[in-house]
Amino acid sequence: MRGSAAHASIDAVWRLEAARIIAGLARMVHDIGLAEELAQDALVAALEQWPESGVPDNPGAWLMAVGKRRAIDRIRRERRFEHKLAEMGRDLETRPAAEFDVPDDEHIEDDVLRLIFTACHPVLSVQARVALTLRMLGGLTTEEIAHAFLVSEPTVAQRIVRAKRTLSEAGVPFEVPEGPGRAARLSSVLEVVYLIFNEGYAASGGGDWVRADLCQEALRLGRILAELAPGEPEVHGLAALMEIQASRTRARTGPSGEPVPLMEQDRGRWDRLLIRRGFAALLRAKAIGEPPGPYVLQAAIAACHAQAPTAEDTDWAQIASLYAVLASVAPSPVVELNRAVAVGMAHGPDKGLALADALVDEPSLRGYHLLPSVRGDLLARLGQLDEARTQFERAAELTRNAPERKILLERAASLRRPAQ
């Protein structure tokens, strides 16, 4: 087999199998950092051997077997060391060898879920959780992560090393938390996945394919989670939200890379398969029968848009009431601003403007171009053209996206009163 073909295969196998192998080894060594190193050793062995010997029939099992062997060596070495320290060694020889937890196919999925929860542990910074998750669950290289997040490779490498050390030192157990702590830990996981998605979604407008790939990574993680934790409505909510948002990818940028607002998108370019998957995930969330959390509510809002055959058919009253619930479940200025838009559409621009005006002194929205842009739109609909123009000009100053700035300035210019 030609070397480069073997390398392409190894790369693909690694991407498909990394999470399962690392998770299985973590069950043995109770340390995801060490498990990842052992899995990397197995990968190195594959890179050395497969170009010569050919890719084995079951490459995942091959990698796992090598990893297991290294893990057992490691455990034995450490035990010998411990025994020497204790100046014992009497029962060392008689100890059964297979006393550690060995991963098996039946339980590997549980181990993968443990791996996700551990990599997203709140003891780590959000950046560290993102890097660890992409590395361990997605099988991405440090270089790929650095490229996707526009930071240097050493920075990412450092982040990963530190994160592994932090987990080790904090003695974070390799488990899926149960009981009262579970909800907070789950939202830490979902936050990481959605952050990865948004990083890619925000970038995909720029035509930067490496970053847009992050959307795919996040979607895949979301789909995995939905299979591994099917009893959690928010997991399905996040999956639904990402599926429906991803369905608009092709419609949300114009020919020269300018963002196309939701209401102006060509709905024929929305991906029906992803919309259908999104609806199915949302139904699964609802079937669990708990009060909706923030992801389920956001997905329900996205579903309202996806359901409308044309922009004019949008059920704004429904969207406004969903935003009202969202604002009570997970209040934030951005949610409030979106609610202002929905209320403005459903119940009149004056009602929307009242909500938007209340946000003017909100410190976290200072510098956020969508606040003046929304206010400009509502003011224009109320016929207050001068104020509206000032708001669009302000929004144009604030946005960092050049095509969007152009659109905002055009809107501002269109609001000039005709010469008397």
Q: How far is the CB of 144 from other proteins (least distance, A)?
A: 10
Query: What is the spatial distance between Cα 121 and Cα 244, in angstroms, rounded to a whole number?
Result: 27
Q: How far is the CB of 251 from other proteins (least distance, A)?
A: 8
Residue 184, amino acid: A
Cα 106 off chain centre by: 27
Nearer to other proteins, 167 or 186 (CB): 186
Q: Is the dihedral of CA 69, 73, 78, 80 positive or negative?
A: positive
Q: How far is the CB of 102 from other proteins (least distance, A)?
A: 20
Contacts of 214 (CB under 8 A, 6+ apart): 148, 196, 197, 199, 200, 203
Nearer to other proteins, 27 or 375 (CB): 27
CA dihedral 295, 297, 299, 301 (to 10 degrees): -150
Buried b (16+ CB within 10 A) or exposed e, 321-338: ebbebbbeeeeeeebbbb
Nearer to other proteins, 26 or 215 (CB): 215
Q: Is 203 exposed, middle or buried (0-12, 13-18, 19+ CB in 10 A)?
A: buried
Q: How far is the CB of 230 from other proteins (least distance, A)?
A: 11
Query: What is the spatial distance between Cα 140 and Cα 136, in angstroms, rounded to a whole number?
Result: 8
Query: What is the spatial distance between Cα 100 and Cα 103, in angstroms, rounded to a whole number?
Result: 10
Nearer to other proteins, 280 or 385 (CB): 280
DSSP state string for 397-411: HH---HHHHHHHHHH
Nearer to other proteins, 46 or 346 (CB): 46
Query: What is the spatial distance between Cα 353 and Cα 80, in angstroms, rounded to a whole number?
Result: 72
Q: How far is the CB of 246 from other proteins (least distance, A)?
A: 6
Q: How far is the CB of 210 from other proteins (least distance, A)?
A: 12
- Helix and strand numbers (H, E) in the chain are 18, 0
The footprint of other proteins (CB under 8 A) covers 8-9, 11-13, 15-16, 57-59, 109, 204, 212-213, 215-216, 219-224, 227-228, 246-250, 269-271, 273-274, 277
Query: What is the spatial distance between Cα 24 and Cα 30, in angstroms, rounded to a whole number?
Result: 10
Q: How far is the CB of 146 from other proteins (least distance, A)?
A: 17
Nearer to other proteins, 75 or 229 (CB): 229
Nearer to other proteins, 189 or 365 (CB): 189
Q: How far is the CB of 18 from other proteins (least distance, A)?
A: 11
Nearer to other proteins, 227 or 357 (CB): 227
Q: What is the DSSP letter of 93?
A: T
